[in-house]
A and B are shown apart, each in its own frame.
Chain A
């Protein structure tokens, strides 16, 4: 029984590690995720905030759906122990305090997910002002996490 339990634990650990990959890989995946988010927030910003006359509902909606999909993909898995030190595409800017502030970060991450899903919903309506307002709220959730656990240059 004990052997089975140990085996199960080892297998689960191995599986989790395999899923998330070694440290460098986790960092690379998450940096990729955030730069993909940046590409999509940039698209929304351009058509909703900077040049509303160019607004294209499908284009913005596609970007909002991409953001929501990344948010819902379970990014937390890429924050394994030790991933505050290391280089993905570039040196990680995750503060070591992250691991002491996990609860706080999780709460913020949840508000981010809710805001991203809401943005996708609002984007589907095509109402520029509503999208702009929700887009701002999403940005605030990004900022609160940056302020908490991202190393300032």
Chain B
């Protein structure tokens, strides 16, 4: 007998699909270049906000959004490999993929804040790096982290296709509706989340992004603070 479980709460779904659009947008703007690079930077900020949101929601969101409920502990991984793992939400292997995606995205935005395209765009922290070698290395890491992201996205989509075609398990619809049909045996009560927590998490995430941009001046070494220097007029 199957029952409907509210597996992905609204904030998680919103996070997921905004992230999809943001990643596509960041890719397109970076590929086309030119004045769109400013949008690349703005989308990067959105992704930072989304990641902070996900991090907080992983502690105060509903059951299956919580890191604690799906973190791939050795016990869970061993059970999964033996075929005895049971549950809904992310399975231990999927959980590893999810964490890899989140960590790689964190590296991407982190390096992005310090990168330059060597044309006319640079992240707010780029000028704080004090050597050309570092600047080149970090900008290069940004590209490599993106290539790794492509690999992870490929695995993500392949896994969804595999579940749909081979295991006859549709993972896409639950990410749209939030609801999933599961054997009654696995169903447990979904707790946590709520509108108030959602709104406050959005607020905190926004504040973090704002704070990152605001902190640029804070991190700038005092001796390089912008001062009016009189230079010869030629």
- Count of chain B residues with Cβ under 8 Å from any Cβ of A? 19
Task: Find residues 63-77 in chain A having any chain B CB closer than 8 Å to their own CB.
Answer: none
Query: For B37, what are the chain A residues with a Cβ–Cβ distance below 8 Å?
Result: 139
Q: How near does chain A come to B154, taking the closest CB pair, in angstroms?
A: 20
**Does A137 count as interface, using CB distance less than 8 angstroms?**
yes
Task: Find residues 83-126 in chain B having any chain A CB closer than 8 Å to their own CB.
Answer: 117-121
Given contacts A133-B35, A153-B136, contact A139 B120 (CB under 8 A): yes
Nearest chain B residue, comparing its CB with the CB of A137: B34
Query: For B140, what are the chain A residues with a Cβ–Cβ distance below 8 Å?
Result: 152-153
Query: For B117, what are the chain A residues with a Cβ–Cβ distance below 8 Å?
Result: 143
Size category of the A interface is 10 to 19
Task: Find residues 23-44 in chain B having any chain A CB closer than 8 Å to their own CB.
Answer: 32-38
Query: For A90, what are the chain B residues with a Cβ–Cβ distance below 8 Å?
Result: 132
Given contacts A152-B143, A153-B136, A153-B139, contact A41 B33 (CB under 8 A): no
Q: How far is the CA of A133 from the CA of B36 in the complex (A)?
A: 11
Q: How near does chain B come to A54, taking the closest CB pair, in angstroms?
A: 13
Find out whether the CB atom of B120 lies under 8 angstroms from the CB atom of A45: yes
**Does B191 count as interface, using CB distance less than 8 angstroms?**
no
Q: How far is the CA of A4 from the CA of B139 in the complex (A)?
A: 53
Query: For B137, what are the chain A residues with a Cβ–Cβ distance below 8 Å?
Result: 153
Query: For A140, what are the chain B residues with a Cβ–Cβ distance below 8 Å?
Result: 32-34
Contact of B120 among A133, A135, A146, A152 (CB under 8 A): A135
Q: How near does chain A come to B205, taking the closest CB pair, in angstroms?
A: 25
Find out whether the CB atom of B143 lies under 8 angstroms from the CB atom of A143: no
Q: How far is the CA of A142 from the CA of B132 in the complex (A)?
A: 19
**Does A49 count as interface, using CB distance less than 8 angstroms?**
yes
**16 residue pairs from A and B, CB less than 8 Å apart:** A38-B118, A41-B120, A49-B120, A132-B35, A136-B35, A136-B36, A139-B33, A140-B34, A143-B33, A146-B118, A152-B140, A152-B143, A153-B136, A153-B137, A153-B141, A153-B143
Residues of B near any A CB (own CB < 8 A): 32-38, 117-121, 132, 136-137, 139-141, 143
Residues of A near any B CB (own CB < 8 A): 38, 41-42, 44-45, 49, 90, 132-133, 135-137, 139-140, 142-143, 146, 152-153
Contacts A137-B34, A153-B139 known; list 16 others, CB within 8 Å: A45-B120, A49-B35, A136-B35, A139-B35, A139-B120, A140-B32, A140-B33, A140-B34, A142-B119, A143-B34, A143-B119, A146-B118, A153-B137, A153-B140, A153-B141, A153-B143
